[in-house]
Amino acid sequence: MKILANDGISKSGIDNLTENGFEIITTNVAQEQLINYINENKIVGLLVRSSTTARRDLIDSCPSLKLIGRGGVGMDNIDVEYAKSKGIHVINTPAASSASVAELVFAHLYGGVRFLFDSNRNMPLEGESNFKGLKKAYAKGVELRGKTLGIIGFGRIGQEVAKIALGIGMKVMASDKFMDNATVKINFSTSQSIEVKIKVHPFDKVIASSDFISLHIPAQQKYVIDSNVISKMKKGAGIINAARGGIIDEVALVKALDEGHLSFAGLDTFENEPKPEVKLLMHEKISLTPHIGAATLEAQNRIGEELAIQISKLLK
């Protein structure tokens, strides 16, 4: 049986599937050519990440497909319920990349409070000629310890973010429509662990009380963070979006940054991927990454292995 990993898969995933009798194809097929390729090669399983979509037209046009897999959490690029209605298995890897996304959140947070994103732009340009001036410009950083991190969406990734926050001495407030309270277990390298109970608060309370906001919710039909919500945030707060593009009103975000109501933003996802707005890309108060939350070697290995296990279980 042939599996097309159109957006790639780790070697460990390939090895696992090959050992179980599958033929793995890692050719990257253009979206407009995907239907023909699947039919010509009698592909039974299509694996995607964020680049490839699996919509109704593809599902209807590819009778050989028995499984569609998403290497990651969000499945907004797959018509999940429609595929299931056609008898196609739809799988993802919700746990495999949680730690990687959480660490990226803190890369943005640490970079934000110490102006690293802007310093790294200007040091190559002015470091030799204006060292003292840059030193003065970036000398008003703050520490994360003791500050309040508001986490919007307290699923697997949100809880991983909370673990890091608690570990460095931050206060954590969470908001989630689907739970009242949660207990996070923090494991240490010494083989010791502690459990911390996190109370889940109303959205507005988290927004108004937090020094920093981190978003961990799926794609939405409308903005979750719009101008009204931003106006309720603390003056000087920072916001991180390593979840999905389109949950922040980017026009309102830029306005709040320009006016000084927000101090910085960290964006890994964008409303207009793969072509983010130039105003975002050039803004001196925005830390930028190109949707790499799950893109660590460790996470890719976990994703590949988890996909392989599920595929073997469902198709053999």
* Structural domains counted in the chain: 2
Supply the pLDDT for residue 50: 83
For residues 20 and 41, the answer to whether their CB atoms sit within 8 Å is: no
Supply the pLDDT for residue 95: 86
Compute the average pLDDT of residues 202-227. 96
Active site residues: 244, 273, 291
pLDDT digits (tens, 9 = 90+) for 82-125: 999 999 999 999 889 999 999 999 999 999 999 999 999 999 99
* Same domain, yes or no: 270 and 304: no
Closest CA to 154 of 97, 190, 115, 199: 199
* Same domain, yes or no: 85 and 195: no
* Same domain, yes or no: 85 and 104: no
Q: 153: domain CATH number?
A: 3.40.50.720
Model-level pTM?
0.90
pLDDT digits (tens, 9 = 90+) for 43-72: 999 999 988 999 999 999 999 999 999 998
* Same domain, yes or no: 284 and 310: no
* Same domain, yes or no: 30 and 76: yes
For residues 68 and 127, the answer to whether their CB atoms sit within 8 Å is: no
With H, G, I as helix, E, B as strand and everything else as coil, classify residue 100: helix
In terms of DSSP bridges, do strands 193-199 and 181-187 run parallel, antiparallel, or are they unpaired? Answer: antiparallel
pLDDT digits (tens, 9 = 90+) for 154-204: 999 999 999 999 999 999 999 999 998 999 999 999 999 999 999 999 999
* Same domain, yes or no: 123 and 251: yes
* Same domain, yes or no: 24 and 77: yes
| Residues with Cβ within 8 Å of residue 73, at least 6 apart in sequence | 92, 93, 94, 97, 156, 157, 294
* Same domain, yes or no: 143 and 60: no
Supply the pLDDT for residue 315: 95
User: Which domain range does residue 174 map to?
Assistant: 98-288
pLDDT digits (tens, 9 = 90+) for 225-255: 999 999 999 999 999 999 999 999 999 999 9
How big, in percent rounded to 5, are the helix, strand and coil portions of the chain?
A: 40, 20, 40
Per-residue pLDDT band for 258 (boundaries 50, 70, 90) equals very high
Q: For all residues of the chain together, what is the average pLDDT?
A: 96
Separation in Å, CA 109 to CA 99, 177, 231, 285, 286: 15, 25, 21, 12, 11
